[in-house]
Amino acid sequence: MKLSIIIVSYNESRFLEKAVGSCLDQDYDDYEIIIGDDGSDDGSVDIIKRYAETNNIKYFVMERNAKYYIPSIRVSDIIKRALEIADGQYVCVLSGDDFFVDMGRFREHTEFLDTHSAYSAVYSKYEEYHEKSRRSIAAGSYCNWRSLFWSGMYAHISCFTFRKKIYEDNQLLDKMCDDTGLTYSIAIAGKWHTLPSVTMAYRQRDGSIMHKADKLELSIIELMLLQDVLNKKKMISGSLSRYYKPLSYCRKRRTHLKEEKYHKYIEACNGYDNNILKEIIDSEKKIKPKLKINGLQIISLLCYLFYGFFRKAYKLIDHR
């Protein structure tokens, strides 16, 4: 098997047919689909079973009996379980509400990896898809500058196709295998190459879990990733700049970490070494993040600032 597509689903009954259909319509046939469902209760599992009866689709359903629910960890568990049963030489991951827009995506990505053994992954652009509008953004072009990822830029995991060898060689992080955690593992495993085509539509939904998360929650998740990175001994010098901002933000608001809505994150970090959240909560005085900044990190931060400026400018022009 050349390629395994992992689809992560939770209550995506309105969108699953679009997601699965965009895989089945590809001009490529050496692939399998693995759907990991997070215990949906909206009829998604029935849709998955119907597809599995007539197509090359494996699936499993996760039980939802966890003491606390953290979406990033649940998604990570689904991806890791799917990787265990994947037969493909290469892997790509798709959310159940997103879909591919380029029917040559599988062929183009696998052909590149077949002929460029020095690369661990290939990346292509995506477009944001809204109910009333559809707008292409050039996020993929920035990912040629790896320093931008280290400075905190988001790289959508569904834009990647990566070698399963990354998983087989135990190069993934232990806990965090969601969008950012898996992208981090890909980034330190080797080079990735960006293709100019737009191949995936990222559906923007106002009521999604990530849209409802506040800035402190997002910063906490970054520090959970940092804890995993430190425990796995996967820290590299350039990656320090990625964590400067969430470290600073959480330290300035350390009293809020004791609020009930953040308890599940604190509990998820207990029992593991390098418990950064606990250290922040237990600190009695205001402490500035003690991170040494080298030349690469300064360039990373400057790139991030320029990226944010041009992104805001683009949105203003686009709205006009």
pLDDT for the residue numbered 118: 92
CA dihedral 291, 295, 296, 301 (to 10 degrees): 70
- The three-class DSSP label of residue 253 is coil
Domain ranges for the chain, please list them: 3-203, 213-319
pLDDT for the residue numbered 235: 80
pTM score > 0.85 for this model? no
pLDDT for the residue numbered 115: 97
User: pLDDT tens-digit profile of 194-247?
Assistant: 888 889 988 876 655 555 678 899 899 999 999 999 999 888 766 677 788 888
User: pLDDT tens-digit profile of 115-171?
Assistant: 999 999 999 888 887 766 666 554 444 444 455 666 677 778 899 999 999 999 988
Q: Give percent of the chain above pLDDT 90.
A: 41
d(CA 182, CA 160): 10
d(CA 129, CA 285): 45
Helices (H), the chain: 16-24, 44-54, 71-85, 105-115, 139-142, 146-150, 165-168, 179-189, 209-212, 215-231, 240-252, 263-269, 276-282, 295-319
DSSP 314: H
User: pLDDT tens-digit profile of 1-33?
Assistant: 899 999 999 999 999 999 999 999 999 999 999
pLDDT for the residue numbered 242: 79
For the structural domain made of 3-203, what CATH number should be given? 3.90.550.10
d(CA 257, CA 277): 8
pLDDT surpassing 70 at residue 173: yes
Q: Give percent of the chain above pLDDT 70.
A: 77
- Contact in structure between 175 and 228 (CB atoms under 8 Å): yes
Question: What b/e sequence results for 120-131 when a residue is b if at least 16 CB atoms lie within 10 Å of its CB, and e otherwise?
Answer: bbbbbbbbebee
Those residues whose C-beta lies under 8 Å from the C-beta of residue 91, and which sit 6 or more positions away, are 3, 4, 5, 6, 83, 161, 162, 163, 164, 167
Please give the sequence-ordered ranges of beta strands (E in DSSP) within 118-159, or none if there are none: 119-129, 134-137
Q: Which residue has the higher pLDDT, 296 or 205?
A: 205
User: CB burial class (10 A; 0-12, 13-18, 19+) of residue 133?
Assistant: exposed
Where residue 61 falls among pLDDT bands split at 50, 70, 90? very high
Mean pLDDT of the chain: 83
